[in-house]
Every structure is written in structure tokens, then in C-alpha cells.
């Protein structure tokens, strides 16, 4: 999937706040939007090579969006929305093992008080609700999520658990947006309440899967499924 059709090379100067960074493009300092609510502490760091997308819009305060960071000589996609489209396109093509056998797919599906990333439907089986989580933090070959406490993420897990009881199937799909991880594990040190909600969701019948991506300058693709570790 193309996530950045015309990448603009830059170098990070510093992160200003959660959604804004200063970058240098051809010697000129520019502001860039960060499309991710995580901390990204080790990624959006001074002197990190970056890829931007130039966005022309009168409603925006910044002309650029930060799309990827080079870390340990690998590109890491930091756009937390891009995995939603990737999962949709891959599921639509029938090439996503954890989402197979369905014929109809709808993005941004609202059910009750929550909006889920995807609902998959097919004859003779319950609808499948899918919540996609963007993972950018890796420690020692283990991808972990979240990298900041997430009340919204916790709420989605509990909502999925409730919908399973009402006859839906449900899945949380953690998308590791880099290729240097061998497994996935929930980040209990950063957000124990999210991890508790994840265990509750699993007990209710929610499936948990993870996939690892290969990220290039313009495109990214699913490499393979990654084992989900819940030992803690």
C-alpha cells in the first residue's frame, strides 16, 4: 500500500508537542504535523532522518505531515491512520489470514457509542468487528502497545467484549509498523489498565492478533503474523 506517494526528505530538529515537530528541509526550518497520539520518544528525536508528506490545505496550520522516521537504519511508519487502510485493503484481497472468509467490508462502522475500524460480513457467520491498533514502539525485538496510557483504547476493548456477548465476533489487530520485531506484547508498565481490559476482552471471546510490516519510503506491506505474548 502507498502511504506516502511523494516523500519529502527532512531531518527532525525537535518535537514541540504531541502533534507538532520542527524539521529541516533543504536547510529551511518547517513545522510538521505528527499523525500519532503516542509519545514516540525514541523515534521523533533530534537529527532523526524523516519522510514528510506535503499537504496543501487552507484549513491546516502546517504544510507537512510527518509520515516515517528512520531508526536503526529501518523506516518506521508513524502514521497511526495508515494501518487502517492497509488492513482494509489486505482483507479485501483475501490475503489477511486472521480475517478471511468474508465478502463484505465496511470501514468506520458505528455500533452503539463506539466507532470500529472495520466490520466484516459474510453468509452463514456472525459479523466480525475489527479494531486496529498502531504499534511503533519496539524493545529488544518485542513490539509493545501502548506507548502512552489510552483511555480510548481501553474503552474499545470493553465495548468489543460486550458486543461478543451480543452475538458478534470481534478481533483486535495490532499492526507493528516496522520490521525489527519478532513478537508482540501489551505494555503493562505504561498502561496496566489497558492490559487488564485486554485480558477481559480475551476472556469474553475477543481474538487478538498481530502483524509485522515492511516499510519503505513510499509503501508498506504486511510481512507476516507476529506471535502475541501475554505472559505478564
- The pLDDT score that the predictor gives to residue 232 is 54
- The pLDDT score that the predictor gives to residue 112 is 86
Question: b/e map of 187-197 (b: 16 or more CB within 10 Å)?
Answer: beebbeebbeb
With 0-12 / 13-18 / 19 or more C-beta atoms within 10 angstroms meaning exposed / middle / buried, residue 181 is: buried
Reported as a single tens digit per residue, the pLDDT across 14-72 is: 999 999 999 999 999 999 999 999 999 999 999 999 999 999 887 888 999 999 999 99
Residue 98 · residue 24 · CB < 8 Å: no
CATH number of 82-226: 3.40.1350.60
What is the spatial distance between Cα 149 and Cα 172, in angstroms, rounded to a whole number?
Answer: 17
Residue 112's region, left for phi above 0, alpha for psi from -120 to 50, else beta, is left
pLDDT tens track, the chain, 232 positions: 999 999 999 999 999 999 999 999 999 999 999 999 999 999 999 999 999 999 988 788 899 999 999 999 999 999 999 999 999 999 999 999 899 889 999 999 999 899 999 999 998 899 999 999 999 999 999 999 999 999 999 999 999 999 999 999 999 999 999 999 999 999 999 999 999 999 999 999 999 999 999 999 999 999 999 999 986 5
Q: Does domain 8-77 correspond to CATH entry 2.40.50.580?
A: yes
Domain locations in the chain?
Answer: 8-77, 82-226
> In DSSP terms, which residues pair with 105 in a beta bridge?
120
Beta-carbon contacts of 89 under 8 Å, excluding residues fewer than 6 positions away, are: 1
Same fold? 8-77, 82-226: no
pTM, full prediction: 0.95
Amino acid at each position: 500500500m502507498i502511504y506516502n506517494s511523494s516523500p519529502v526528505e527532512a531531518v527532525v530538529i525537535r518535537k514541540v508537542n504531541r502533534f507538532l515537530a520542527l524539521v529541516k528541509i533543504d536547510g529551511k526550518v518547517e513545522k510538521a504535523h505528527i499523525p500519532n497520539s503516542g509519545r514516540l520518544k525514541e523515534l521523533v528525536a533530534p537529527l532523526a532522518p524523516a519522510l514528510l508528506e506535503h499537504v496543501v490545505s487552507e484549513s491546516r496550520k502546517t504544510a507537512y505531515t510527518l509520515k516515517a522516521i528512520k531508526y536503526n537504519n529501518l523506516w518506521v511508519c508513524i502514521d497511526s491512520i495508515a494501518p487502517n487502510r492497509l488492513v482494509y485493503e489486505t482483507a479485501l484481497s483475501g490475503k489477511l489470514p486472521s480475517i478471511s472468509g468474508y465478502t463484505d467490508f465496511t470501514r468506520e462502522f458505528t455500533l452503539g457509542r463506539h466507532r470500529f475500524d472495520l466490520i466484516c460480513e459474510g453468509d452463514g457467520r456472525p459479523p466480525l468487528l475489527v479494531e486496529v491498533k498502531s504499534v511503533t514502539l519496539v524493545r529488544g525485538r518485542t513490539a509493545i502497545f501502548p506507548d502512552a496510557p489510552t483511555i480510548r483504547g481501553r474503552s474499545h476493548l470493553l465495548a468489543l467484549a460486550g458486543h461478543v456477548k451480543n452475538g458478534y465476533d470481534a478481533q483486535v489487530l495490532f499492526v507493528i509498523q516496522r520490521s525489527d520485531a519478532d513478537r508482540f506484547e501489551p505494555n503493562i508498565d505504561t498502561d496496566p489498565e489497558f492490559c487488564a481490559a485486554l485480558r477481559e476482552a480475551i476472556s469474553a471471546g475477543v481474538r487478538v492478533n498481530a502483524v509485522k510490516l515492511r516499510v519503505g519510503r513510499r509503501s508498506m506491506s504486511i510481512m507476516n503474523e507476529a506471535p502475541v505474548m501475554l505472559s505478564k
